[in-house]
Each structure stands twice: as C-alpha cells, then as structure tokens.
Amino acid sequence: MTPPPRYVSRVCSVICALMPILTLYFGNIDVSVTSSAFIVAMALVLQRGNPRFAQLSSAVFGLFYCGYLPCFWVKLRCGLAVPALNTKLGHVWPVVLGGQTHWTVGLVATLISISSIIAADTFAFIGGRAFGRTPLTNISPKKTLEGAFAGLTGCILTAVLLSKILCWPTTLLSASGFGVLNFTGSLFGDLIESMIKRDAGVKDSGSLIPGHGGILDRVDSYVFTGALCYSFVKIMLPLFGV
C-alpha cells in the first residue's frame, strides 16, 4: 500500500482534530466532511509524481475513521439535550462539569456507554485468560469466543445496572439492547484496528503510551461505538416509543 505524502497526512490530522470542535459549535458536519475529502483529493492529484488511488482511499478513510466517527461522541453527549429522568443525581452533579443543566439524556447515555465498554474489555480479558480455548478470528489470535461471551455478559450487566440507577433506558429490553450494541461496536472496533495494523505490518499504532502503544490502541473500542449509540438513542428508541 502506497501511503499519501507526508504533507497530506498532516493536513488530514489537522482536519480530524477540527471536526469534533466544528461538531460541538455547529452540530452538523456533513458539509465539512465533504469539503475536507475534496481538499485532500485535490492535494493528492496536484502532487508531484504519479498519484495513486491507494493514497486517496487511505487518506479519505483516515478522515472517516479518525475524524468523522469520533464526532458522534460529541453529538451523543451534547446533541441530546433532553433532561434526564433521575433528578436526584442531577442536583448533585458537579458544577465544574456543568451542574444540573448538563444532566441530560446525552450525558447519561455517554456514561453508560463508556462504562459498558470498560466492563466489556475487563470481562473479556478475565474470561479469556480463565476459560479461553476457542480462537475468535485470525485477525487477533489472542481473542477467544469464551472471552467474547464474558465481555458481552459484563457489558449487558453494566448497562442494565446503570439503567436502574440512572433511570435510562426505561425498560430492561432497551437497556439490554444498548449493552449488546456497545459490545458489538467495541469488539469490531478493536478487530478493525487490528486489521489495519496487520495490513500496515506494525504491532502498535504508535509508541506514545509506554507498554500500551499509541492512543488508537487505547480508544479503538470507542471509534464505531459512538455512531452506533447515537443512532440507537436518536432513531431506534423513538421508533419503538421508548
């Protein structure tokens, strides 16, 4: 695979960093994403030498993967401003974090989602170490079916428990579905990042965090989950009247 020129990669990095900020202040980023992809395409076409389609596809995928998808966490947290049901916790929510006015469905959904992903990773690691026998996929040889089942169980239990505490979602079925969705997004986000690293011939995405690799190695489970959770809260729950 032919990587894009270094200056194009730097431009993509700047655009990816700006996308969540634009989402926070303007809400809709469809136009900015389209414009960014066009700018990157022009830069590649006008470069010296022979531009390759692999350069364009990897650069545009980088915008989507590292820029567009993380924006859904901003939309989930800040775009769903309906007040949450549990006003008791809202009254004691720290002022430095926005106070009672920030105790919204978006905040509750974000807290449950992040907690569920952490539980899924923890349960999957413990379950895989204790009972793991059957490989899950060739992409990540250390992952097992037993570990995945343990992670799914921990994710659902965490989502259901927090839904009872935070009074959202309001039904057991929707809370369980939210847990399944979080687990699915985290698992396949991890596997997709492993596939990218394998294709690039590297073990870690970086070396910023000693012993853990790069930032992407720590947040790969969250990349797709934000978009899935936002769609679940914004589309699926109202569709079923929850």
Please determine, for residue 53, whether its predicted confidence score (pLDDT) is greater than 90: no
Q: What is the DSSP letter of 233?
A: I
19, HSE (Cβ side, Cα atoms, 13 Å): 28
Contacts 24+ apart (CB under 8 A), 99-105: 104/80, 105/80, 105/81, 105/168, 105/233
Please determine, for residue 172, whether its predicted confidence score (pLDDT) is greater than 90: yes
What average pLDDT score do residues 136-162 get? 95
Q: Which residues of 134-160 are buried (b: 16+ CB within 10 A; e: fewer)?
A: eebeeebeebbbbbbbbbbbbbbebbb
Please determine, for residue 96, whether its predicted confidence score (pLDDT) is greater than 90: no
Helix (H) / strand (E) element for 60: namely: helix 53-63
Model confidence over 67-93: pLDDT tens digits?
Answer: 999 999 999 998 888 887 776 777 787
Identify the pLDDT of residue 1: 64
Q: Where are the domains of the chain?
A: 1-79, 82-241
Q: What is the DSSP letter of 220?
A: G
d(CA 237, CA 30): 24
Residue-averaged pLDDT of the chain: 88
| 149 neighbors 136 (Cβ within 8 angstroms) | no
In Å, how far are 26, 108, 111, 192 from 222, measured between CA atoms? 23, 16, 13, 12
Residue 9: burial class (beta carbons within 10 Å; 0-12, 13-18, 19+): middle
What average pLDDT score do residues 197-225 get? 86
Please determine, for residue 177, whether its predicted confidence score (pLDDT) is greater than 70: yes
* pTM, 2 dp: 0.90
Identify the pLDDT of residue 241: 63
Tokens for 53, please give them.
């389609």
What average pLDDT score do residues 105-110 get? 93
β-strand partners of 83: 104
User: Which is more confident, 242 or 147?
Assistant: 147
Identify the pLDDT of residue 130: 94
